[in-house]
Amino acid sequence: MGRPSNTKKGRGAGVSRRDFLRRAGAIPALVAAQPFLAGAARADDVSVPPPGSGSGPFVHGVASGDPLSDRVILWTRVTLAKPKGTPSVSYVVALDTAMQQVVATGKVSTDAKRDFTVKVDVTGLSPATTYFYQFTYGSVKSPIGRTRTLPVGSVDRLRIAVVSCASLAHGYFNVYRQISFRADLDLVVHLGDYIYEFGDGEYGNLRSYEPASEIVTLNDYRTRHNQYKADRDLMEMHRQHPVVSIWDDHEIADNAWKGGAENHNPELGEGAYSDRVKAAIRAYHEWMPIRTIPSDQKRIYRSFRIGDLVELFMLEERLIARDEPGEPNIVSETPLFTQDGEFDDNGRQLIGATQQNWLVNGLRNSTAQWKLIGQGVMVAPARAGLTPEGKNIYFNPDQWDGYEPARERLLDAITAGTSPVQNAVILTGDIHSSWASDVCVNPYDGDYDPGTGEGSVAVEFVGTSVTSPGQSDPDGQVSQGLRFLNQHIKYVELTKRGYMLLDIDSTRASAEWWYTDTIAVRDTGQAFGTAFQTLNGSNRLSPGKRTAMKPNPPPRAP
């Protein structure tokens, strides 16, 4: 999300989400003009300590991810003054913080080919169990990490934090620290833009990047991941909770699609796009606690069964099938588009037929009560107005609005037949703002009742960013205009940074928006924003409330 003013842009680059936020700011003017509308100082303290500084070899801490009922990925990195050969680390997994009730041990080697990162898939674990783990290199021990396996069978309640969009240049990762304090979480879901590819001063200037230039090569991407993982607040979230992640675009380049990106230009010496993608994906799999398919590293779409309560489907929306974003076909001070021309092309893809079939079959065959879909870009339509002929005007071709035929195919497949999918909850990041929406193919054509929610087939919860900037909206006119034009959208907040907290039981799936007090300095202050829920079997939103934490949560990692 976001694009610096000096980005290399050409045909095929699409329109940045920074442009979307600018266009959103024009909505009150559009509302007023069209009566026919349907009702800090730079801080470098996250830099990786230099080799030999005495802070190694575990300067990036520890992490865990992709938990299943009997296994979980453990991650660390060996940082040495003179790295060479194949250094080995041992690991231990225990049931207690003192690391005395040991359930698994092992040893694993690493080398320069994987940038001295370490990933081990520890198997033979018990379901719904909190474990503590630690790595050792020589006589030096890593910090102790905490992780948790997924349950099987009957599950009473689930708590998940949802995050996305962490521009290091825009501020401090206080959100990650706040999440680390929540001992009762079962999981953290990261919906992408874990890193940003820009160089110093291109998009934010509170903290400087390593390397200082835009990242393009394998070494560049490794260095940027290296810097992010050395941030103490990010390290603490990883140390306390298992993370399930997908990439969005900035892990590669702004507004990435299968054949290019807005922020990639071979004519400026950035090389072939395919080489950049290969480098970005390789670094991502090295530095993230994700279960990797070596023969197909682009395939990160996967599912997680969490007992009988939830099945979580995580999508890939950038590199496998996404067609080139369309060019706006309404030219004005704020270029917009209608669903004409290339936007109406039935062949246009966002997730592609193979992934759609996998998703729909998974949703239809799932016996879990709630089906969560973790993905990058907003599904619910968001129009900016109407043309004099009555056509809807949209402002963000990078989200599902820019791929209307693909959205129709997906929603039609979910609702087809005599047994449509029930209790589908879409989780979205990317847009640096908070939204809650009823979801249907066309909420503007009379098949949807905004008063009752009748006609909605799913709900969507959109979480704001960790640090990346939103839209200025001091008097609320922008969000008010958006809700006026889109009455299936029940909540919009455009300015605050934070995270979503999901609380799910057999009666409802609830989303709470929590906002950090500041990102300008390190701070642990946060505040509850609002909550919406969907009741079992309703497939629509209703007002929610702040939920209580789980009783007797397991101890945090010491």
Q: How far apart are CA 360 and CA 420, in angstroms?
A: 10
Beta bridge partners of 108: 89
* Helix, strand, coil shares, percent, the chain, to 5: 20, 25, 55
What is residue 334's three-state secondary structure?
coil
Per-residue tokens: 155: 């599950």
Q: Give the model's pLDDT for residue 82.
A: 87
Question: Which amino acid appears at position 82 of this protein?
Answer: K
Local confidence band at 187 (pLDDT 50, 70, 90 cut-offs): very high
* Ramachandran region, residue 359 (left: φ > 0; alpha: ψ -120 to 50; beta: rest): alpha
Q: How far apart are CA 251 and CA 277, in angstroms?
A: 9
pLDDT over threshold 70, residue 540: yes
**DSSP class per residue in 187-228:** EEEE-S-SS----TTTS--SB--SSSSPP-SHHHHHHHHHHH
- Are 375 and 427 contacting, i.e. CB atoms less than 8 angstroms apart? yes
Question: Which amino acid appears at position 233 of this protein?
Answer: D
Q: Give the model's pLDDT for residue 47.
A: 33
Q: How far apart are CA 405 and CA 425, in angstroms?
A: 21
Q: Distance between alpha carbon 470 and the CA centroid of its chain, in Å?
A: 16
**By C-alpha distance, which of 240, 242, 251 is closest to 192?**
251
Query: Tens digit of pLDDT for each residue in 228-258?
Result: 999 999 999 999 999 999 999 999 999 999 9
**DSSP class per residue in 36-64:** TS-----B-TTSPPPTTSS--S-TT-EEE
Per-residue tokens: 77: 């990195």
Per-residue tokens: 145: 């990490």
Local confidence band at 28 (pLDDT 50, 70, 90 cut-offs): low
Q: Please give, one letter per residue, the 3-state secondary structure of 126-150.
A: CCCCEEEEEEEECCEECCCEEEECC
Local confidence band at 418 (pLDDT 50, 70, 90 cut-offs): confident
Please list, in sequence order, all residues whose beta carbon lies within 8 angstroms of the beta carbon of residue 446, skipping any fewer than 6 positions away: none
Q: Give the model's pLDDT for residue 26.
A: 54
| Residue owning tokens 């024009």 | 26
Per-residue tokens: 449: 């009742």
What is residue 23's three-state secondary structure?
helix
Q: How far apart are CA 278 and CA 298, in angstroms?
A: 9
Query: Tens digit of pLDDT for each residue in 84-98?
Result: 899 999 999 999 999
pLDDT over threshold 60, residue 492: yes
What pTM was computed for the model? Answer: 0.93
Local confidence band at 450 (pLDDT 50, 70, 90 cut-offs): very high
**By C-alpha distance, which of 472, 478, 466, 474 is closest to 514?**
466
Q: Determine the length of the chain.
A: 558
Q: How far apart are CA 402 and CA 77, in angstroms?
A: 40
